[in-house]
Chain A
Amino acid sequence: MTILLFGVTRDIVGNGSLSIPLNQAGSLKTVADLKSYLQKMYPDLGGLSSLAVAVNKSYARDGDKISNFDEIALIPPVSGG
């Protein structure tokens, strides 16, 4: 499962995307599962109070289902101008 990272999530992870190995991604059934997995891997991501998740280029809620083949993106608010 590949996750595209934007804004401060990219800064936290230190890369524009991250991959979750197949054997671990299999247990992630919903957006909420994914969020708690990422929080364990990257505690600072868990510290973000405001974060949108896109699944296949559409805004997704915590209960929405995800699969290995979905394109996922983490989109935090962006402040500058």
Chain B
Amino acid sequence: MTAGRYDRQIRLEGFGPGGQEALYGSAVLIVGAGGLGVPAAQYLNAMGVGRLGLVDGDIVETSNLHRQPAYGPSQVGKSKVLQLAAWLQKANPETRLETHDTYLNTHNALELIKQYDLVVDATDNLPTRYLIDDACLMLDKPWVYGALHGYEGQVSVFNYKGGPTYRCLFPEPPPSGEIPDCDTLGTLGVLPGLIGNMQALEATKVLSGTEGVCSGRLIMYDARQQLIHQMAFKRDPERQVPDQLAPTYQLSCRDEADALNANDYNRLRREQVPHELIDVREPDEFGGGHLPGARNIPLGQLGSASLESEDNLPVYLICETGPRSRKACVQLQSRFPGRAFFWVSGGMRQFKVEIL
């Protein structure tokens, strides 16, 4: 460790040289290099965590820049983990950085997580949170949770010294479309910055043995009022250590006859079942990555779009996570009653997490 770099931290009562040594000897896996992952990585890197792993298969998009300030316009289209690692290495040449340019999924989660002491959940979707929860319980690793909804953020530390897990709060994933995400709701750039920094703080406390770890407490930060609400909770006695990961963590659909999940849709593509695919996301999202053969008609322009076709093939609709393609499906079914429409629940996000 470079002498002096961590001087102000080492002076701090309750942290001291012991805390610094502990950070330097620690390895953290940050899942997601987006709104939460960028600030969490920036501070954990600056503060001297010895080894940092970054896992994310995503690329930088223009709509990310307002909340992911490690990236700039010249990096649009490039791998997030590679760009972020380069930024971090400049800021602290001593950190051992490891990039995993892929999404965390059921095939790689255990292998990746077991190489680290702690996981920071900086994901933007519920399936990956349930995957992290199960994998960390199986491997006996603590993880720092952070998530956003509009002007609100949540933070907690799960599976810390036998403490509660995410499933102790929310035992089963809700069905697809029940909980909207940031793409739908929007977020102020600074809010993921605050929540990601709170996660970095909790990770620091866990790794350095500093008191006050936020285990068994859910922090709910309200950015409108700058208020912090809390809820205490305990380990659910019925929460058992899983023998293995679930076959899938995709959100299921309830009573949605016209929905099929990304895996089922992918099967249909592999079998080359004739169909048309319409991607109803905005052009910039579409430009950031789409399935081959997809036609882009944003949801807002669907009303004026021509869908005439001689072969009258069934139409599959896809968006980022599901809600928009579901709306599109309902809309098109009433306009073109003679044609079959389906929507892909879980959307491009599930494709990225589980298939691509």
Q: Is the CB of A80 within 8 A of B148?
A: yes
In chain B between 233 and 258, which residues have their CB closer than 8 angstroms to a CB of chain A?
233-234, 254
- The complex places the Cα of A64 from the Cα of B187 at a distance, in Å, of 35
Select from chain A the residue with minimum beta-carbon distance to B31.
A81
Interface string of B156-197 (1 = CB under 8 A from A): 000000000000011111110011111001010000100000
- B122 CB contacts on chain A under 8 angstroms: 81
Select from chain B the residue with minimum beta-carbon distance to A4.
B229
Interface residue? A48 (CB, 8 A): yes
- B34 CB contacts on chain A under 8 angstroms: 81
Interface residue? B331 (CB, 8 A): no
- A47 CB contacts on chain B under 8 angstroms: 178
- B150 CB contacts on chain A under 8 angstroms: 7, 10-11
Q: Is the CB of B152 within 8 A of A78?
A: yes
Q: Is the CB of A59 within 8 A of B32?
A: no
- The complex places the Cα of A48 from the Cα of B254 at a distance, in Å, of 12
Q: Is the CB of B148 within 8 A of A75?
A: no
Interface residue? B146 (CB, 8 A): yes
Interface residue? A66 (CB, 8 A): no
Beyond A79-B125, A81-B148, is A59–B180 a contact (Cβ under 8 Å)?
no
8 Å CB contact of B181 from A50, A54, A76, A79? A79
Distance in angstroms from A59 CB to nearest chain B CB is: 4
Distance in angstroms from A70 CB to nearest chain B CB is: 13
Q: Is the CB of A52 within 8 A of B169?
A: yes
- The complex places the Cα of A76 from the Cα of B174 at a distance, in Å, of 10
Interface residue? B115 (CB, 8 A): no
- The complex places the Cα of A49 from the Cα of B174 at a distance, in Å, of 6
8 Å CB contact of B233 from A7, A16, A58? A58
8 Å CB contact of B220 from A49, A75, A77? A75
Beyond A49-B174, A77-B126, list 4 extra A-B contacts (CB 8 Å).
A48-B178, A59-B231, A79-B180, A80-B182
